[in-house]
Amino acid sequence: MKKINKTNEQWKCELSPLEFHITREGGTEAPFSNKFVNHFENGTYQCVCCRADLFISNHKYNSKTGWPSYNQPINENVLTEIEDKSLGIIRTEIKCSNCDAHLGHVFPDESQKTGRRY
């Protein structure tokens, strides 16, 4: 997959201030604020920055956390996992492999057959 490499100034022109903060500065949306939290129609979820396909509705589930949640990505190549030691705990950050957008984190979830919540 081709890797997109744009400057922050370019991303600022293309994204809303919230989208820029989340994806380019590692921000976190307020829980229950995302328009897709309770969206379960058939479809494919894409990166807001580069439109790469990341998740499909078959893998989306209601985790009751307030953030859109999936038990696996569309395939193993679309996400890059990075150890995140901020906040004094070790978490696994996930980024878009195509453009490096911060997407969130992956957590253990025993309620899912994959054992994971993205």
Options 22, 37, 50, 78; binder of Zn ion; rule CB under 5 A: 50
| Residue 44 token pair | 């494919």
Q: And the tokens for 113?
A: 């057959």
Task: Provide the 3-class DSSP secondary structure of residue 47.
Answer: coil
Catalogue the E-assigned strands of the chain: 44-46, 53-56, 60-61, 69-70, 79-84, 91-96, 102-108, 116-117
Give me the helices (H) in the chain, please: 8-14, 17-25
Q: How far is the CB of 39 from Zn ion (least distance, A)?
A: 20
Cβ proximity to Zn ion, 7 vs 111, nearer residue? 7
Q: CB 29 → Zn ion: shortest distance, Å? A: 17
Interface of this chain with Zn ion, residues 19 to 48, rule: CB under 5 A: 47
Minimum Å gap between C-beta 101 and Zn ion is 4
By C-beta, is 13 or 62 nearer to Zn ion? 13
Task: Please pick, from the candidates 37, 60, 98, 104, the single residue that binds Zn ion as defined by CB under 5 A.
Answer: 98
- For 17, phi then psi, to 5°, come to -55, -40
Q: Which position among 74, 94, 96, 106 is part of the footprint of Zn ion (CB under 5 A)?
A: 96
Interacting residue ranges for Zn ion, rule: CB under 5 A: 47, 49-50, 52, 96, 98-99, 101
